């Protein structure tokens, strides 16, 4: 589930980066669009990855405390 959300965020970030550069650039925009695609995808994927790791660690800690109390 976490991996799928990271991949989906990367795809969405790539689309957002591509569209933002496409709105601002006129003419030959291959390099700026490529930078927007890669930059947006990596940025969004890293952000969601951090949130996913923190969420999974919190769940693991919570489950560990439940097992100790039983």
Of the candidates 36, 44, 38, 41, the one whose C-alpha atom is nearest the C-alpha of residue 17 is: 36
3-state helix, strand, coil in the chain (%, to 5): 90, 0, 10
How do the pLDDT tens digits run along the chain, 70 residues long?
899 999 999 999 999 999 999 999 988 989 999 999 999 999 999 999 999 999 999 999 888 877 666 5
- Give this prediction's pTM: 0.81
Alpha carbon distance 70, 56 (integer Å): 22
């Amino acid at each position: 589930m976490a991996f799928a959300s990271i991949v989906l965020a990367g795809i969405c970030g790539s689309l957002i980066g591509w569209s933002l550069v496409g709105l601002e650039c006129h003419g030959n925009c291959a390099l700026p669009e490529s930078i927007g695609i890669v930059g947006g995808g990596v940025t969004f994927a890293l952000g969601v990855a951090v949130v996913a790791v923190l969420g999974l660690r919190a769940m693991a800690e919570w489950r560990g405390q439940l097992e100790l109390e039983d």
